[in-house]
Structure 1
């Protein structure tokens, strides 16, 4: 934090890495755009939210220099609230490298289905040598390890690693769903069912999220219900339960083991065990 302000400009670096990530809110763009990082070749992600979606909206782009592109987006694109871009300290990224990074990020975002793309963008990668491809892919892995630390988890597809016996269940109104707690949030497993008809009292946020998931292809329609086509992480057990049940729900009570023990009871036992230790 060059200015000592956690809400201001942030620079992200890693040991033995030539890259640097630059993160800032749109509101301070004019104040920070003079920095030398802006004049280098790089790849960037604009991030914002829209009133008609519960998912973040992103725009992935590249620039040579980054500042030229961001100047244009600052004046012409209204949706974004903050941005992160990546360049190198030694200016080793060239136009072909960042085009490759742009293409890979777009492909990952489309596959993960955790966001909305601001516009349909071409994602054809340039032709690179085998050695260049290896270097750029290594740079991409470092970028992907940084995005979640910034609260941007739109490039990673969640995959269940839990055994069936470790899963929590919801069975109601003819539907069955399974899930588990994870460091990222609460994960609902692929194949889980959702009720088709929402309660009249459902929170607007949950109703919007259900529509988003269907539109993105995360859930698909089947006879009498919807079904998750992939694992999906939610911010809390209650949000996950509410989306599954189509109504406001207390996830700590709705999610249960196959023996009928609630998530609330499991968490209470874990706390008691910790206190005994």
Structure 2
């Protein structure tokens, strides 16, 4: 269970070494959790902090050889010792985010539960590649302990996107959340070019192509390497599957921009602001310009 109704809150990010990209400590109002965020090169400083001697759950983030975002989720009785093992054991990661409790409220069962829940969310969302080879079931907890763990998880899920980690949120959930904040129904946009037939929606940090959209199977000679690699990765993860000579989206999927979404659909370069249109034929560019003009 995750929160469905956003609410105002305050989050504090402490720059431990005074630089925006340095070691950071993240806390949230009315929450006993704390996150330590460190790049791989800053790990020595992070391991010296008292939080890293406590039980907790952590994620490692980086890129695959193909340039796709990748995630590893883990838990530990002593966060620092476990993350230190990944320096030689895993090459892909460039950043670690470790969560623990300021009041020693997390025990072994709690962190195993959080690890299992994060893995299940990431697997279901299928937005990032996962380096985990196993997906354990949550351990049995009492009703009260499970409620506490779910509350801790919900607060973590508020913080992750602030750190650029949106691996745990399905594209369909984000599109629905965006629509719930609007008085009018969400605007569905359409793409019909070069044999591709797509539907999609704008979201706060990108563009969601909806399940059932059809991408062209062929690719243009001039296709950018990034778009080609995106299409290959989506096929490997079964987000795109063959269907009657085309590639069908088996789930909603979030892209960083409408142009990337359009490029994947048409198998080549595309200007998403012109390719995506509403049901009257008005382009996304015209819609965005009209919004700005009305302010």
Aligned to 1:186: 207
Decide whether the 8 Å contact of 1:55 with 1:114 is kept in 2: no
Q: How does 1:83-232 map to 2 (within 5 A)?
A: 83-159=96-172, 160-161=175-176, 166-232=187-253
Is 1:55 the counterpart of 2:76? The answer is no
CA contact (8 A) 1:23 1:83 kept: yes
Structure 1 length-normalised TM: 0.94
Matched, 1:244 2:258: no
Cα deviation 1:121-177 (Å, max 9, x = unaligned)? 231221211111110011001111111110000011021446998211111233311
| d(CA) in 1 for partners of 2:55, 2:259 | 43
Structure 2 unaligned segments of length 5 or more: list them.
1-14
For 1:15 and 1:165, locate their aligned partners in 2 and report how far apart those are by CA, in whole Å. 31
What SS does structure 2 have at the residue aligned with 1:74?
A: helix
Q: RMSD in angstroms over aligned alpha carbons?
A: 1.5
> Is the partner of 1:13 in helix, strand or coil?
strand
Matched, 1:75 2:88: yes
What secondary structure is seen at the aligned counterpart in 2 of 1:78?
coil
Aligned in 2, Cα 1:164/1:249: closer, same or farther, shift over 3 Å? farther
The count of corresponding residues between Structure 1 and Structure 2 is 273
Cα distance in 2 between the residues matched to 1:51 and 1:70 = 22
Q: Counterparts of 2:77 and 2:148 in 1: how far apart (Å)?
A: 19
What's 2:44 paired with? 30
Cα 1:222–1:165 shift into 2, 3 Å: same
SS of residue matched to 2:60 = strand
1:3 aligned residue: 17
Kindly indicate whether the alpha-carbon contact (under 8 Å) linking 1:113 and 1:217 is maintained by their aligned counterparts in 2. no
Aligned counterparts of 1:157 and 1:122: Cα–Cα separation in 2: 18
C-alpha contact (below 8 Å) 2:195/2:215 kept by paired residues: no
Aligned structure 1 segments of 4 or more residues deviating by more than 3 angstroms:
160-165
**What are the superposed Cα offsets for residues 234-257 of structure 1, whole Å, 9 maximum, x if unpaired?**
111111110111001111111112
Match for residue 40 of structure 1 among 29, 54, 61: 54
CA distance in 2, matches of 1:98, 1:11: 19
* TM superposition score normalised by structure 2: 0.89
- Change in Cα spacing, 1:107 to 1:165, as seen in structure 2 (3 Å) is closer
Give the drift of 1:196: 0.6
Distance 1:98 1:165 in 2: 37
Q: Is the 8 A contact 1:168 1:256 kept in 2?
A: yes
The CA distance in 1 between the partners of 2:138 and 2:233, in whole Å, is 28
C-alpha contact 1:114 1:154 (8 A) present in aligned 2:
yes
- Whether 1:12 aligns to 2:26 is yes
1:149 alignment partner, SS class: helix
SS of aligned partner of 1:122: coil
Report if the CA contact (8 A) 2:215-2:264 is conserved.
yes
SS at match of 2:100: strand
